[in-house]
Amino acid sequence: MDAIQQKSILPPGPKPLPVLGNNHSFVRDPLNFLQTLHQTYGPMATIRMADTPSVVLFEPEHIHYVLTENPRNFTSAEFAQGLQEFTGHGLFNLDGDTHRQQRRLVQPAFHRKRVENYADTMRQYTIEMLNTWKAGDRIALDQELQQLTMRIVAKCLFDIDLGLRNSKLGQAFTDILENQPRLLETITKLRIDLPFTDYGKRQRGKRIIDKVIYELIAQRRTEGIDKGDFLSMLLETTEDDKALTDTQIRDHIMTFVAAGHETSSNTLVWAFYLLAQNDPQYQKLYLELQEQLQGQPPTLADLSKTPYTEWVINETLRLYPPAYLIGRRAREEFKLGEYTLPAKTFVLISKWVLHRRPDLWENADTFQPERWRPENAKNIVPWSYIPFGAGPRMCIGMPFAQMEMRLLLATMIQRFKFRIVPGFKMETDPLITLRPKNGLQVILEPVSQA
């Protein structure tokens, strides 16, 4: 049955405009819009993206139901359509059995033991970046971190070194990220491949990246050497006794590079921002690192000795979850709270609201890494914190990202103090991920001034 005909049983929500639905309010200021929805309508609210009803969920147990109790009833690929232009048939764009099968194929790349081998690259590349800086420099920290995390993911997973700066590949990704489809393109689906259109700029980026990746695959096939990395694993993988095609391999690579650098770099940017605003917490972090590492860059083994570093990352992911919205589409009718929601309903899960709900979190908007101290963390309401999602689609790169963010933060904090440029205004820019709108401009100070 068509979802639109079942209006009466959907939860209440704001009045939609003809044709546009609630698109305009959502696109204008998504984060405020989501907060207001929760304040006005409580546990769930219906909005309309053009003529499609979407139910936005704010309750931990409802979110748990959709993501982990009954995930087979929900598809996801449709929500990632915007990514499909680049990630093809990578994990984001698959559903059902195909998703399960492909995820099983790539999962070994993210086993904890394998991921631990990446620690040295993460540390070494961070030191190389820091060695090009000196106290007094003004740095666009967002750009530096994006290049660093891109360099790390490319080296760890595919053994290619993009070099320190200005890689063509990095620029191509920037072209893609900075020219995301705007409202007009989304609604009209009008895509014109010219150098000055957003779509054209994204396509230019895609062509550059595709060329690099296909050349890399061809080179590896010719060499025939197992380098022990993710790419070698993909090249050897068989599906029903058939090797993966170049296109399948390319799609997995694109997915992991796309998913695996912006999320981590944005989290770190927000962490530096929060630490610059909260001196007592910065001091605690700095002292922990001084005491435990005495100025040395951390090794993997050091991570267990630096819990405060982990709490800083956890708390940053609470306040600024990079994947701030998760989307699903129901296959069949389902019950949630007092509602029976029809098949085809679009479900949106708002982590931005969930992670900041004042009834779930004490001092919800305040940066308090101490809330992650085990004796405090045991009081956290189950399912109220899901930065990496949950269930069968939970972030496959979580162990990679957690280790990377802690190693990078600990290495960088020991070298410089990061002061935000006076007058610089930090704003959120919720695109596919939650980006800092104007980046983050910092001035480096020697740590002795800390």
Q: Which positions lie near ligand HEM, rule CB under 6 A?
A: 76, 91-92, 103, 153, 255-256, 259-260, 263-264, 267, 322-323, 326, 387-389, 393, 395-397, 400-401
Dihedral over Cα of 24, 25, 29, 34: its sign: negative
Contact assessment for residue 91 and residue 394, using Cβ atoms and an 8 Å cutoff: no
Least distance in Å: CB of 107 to ligand HEM? 9
Which residues carry a binding-site annotation for heme? 395
Element containing residue 56 per DSSP (H, E):
strand 52-57
Q: Are strands 52-57 and 346-350 parallel, antiparallel or unpaired?
A: parallel
Our CB check for ligand HEM shows the closer of 234 and 395 to be 395
Find out whether 297 and 123 touch, Cβ atoms under 8 Å: yes
Instruction: Give the residue numbers of the binding site.
Output: 395
Residue whose CB is less far from ligand HEM, 25 or 147: 147
In the complex, residue closest to ligand HEM by CB:
397
Q: At its nearest, how many Å lie between ligand HEM and the CB of residue 155?
A: 12
Identify the CA nearest to 271 among candidates 133, 166, 369.
369
The residues, any chain, with a CB within 8 Å of residue 396's CB and separated by 6 or more, are 91, 103, 106, 107, 110
Q: Which is nearer to ligand HEM, 361 or 388 (CB)?
A: 388
Q: How far is the CB of 395 from ligand HEM (least distance, A)?
A: 3
CB-wise, 400 or 444, nearer to ligand HEM? 400
Nearer to ligand HEM, 259 or 444 (CB): 259
Q: How far is the CB of 56 from ligand HEM (least distance, A)?
A: 15
The answer to whether residues 22 and 45 touch, using CB atoms and an 8 Å cutoff, is no
Q: What pairing do the DSSP bridges indicate for beta strands 416-420 and 44-49?
A: unpaired
Q: Which region, left, alpha or beta, applies to residue 295 given φ > 0 means left and ψ of -120 to 50 means alpha?
A: left
Provide, rounded to whole angstroms, the least separation between the CB of residue 109 and ligand HEM. 8
Q: Are the C-beta atoms of residues 387 and 323 closer than 8 Å to each other?
A: yes
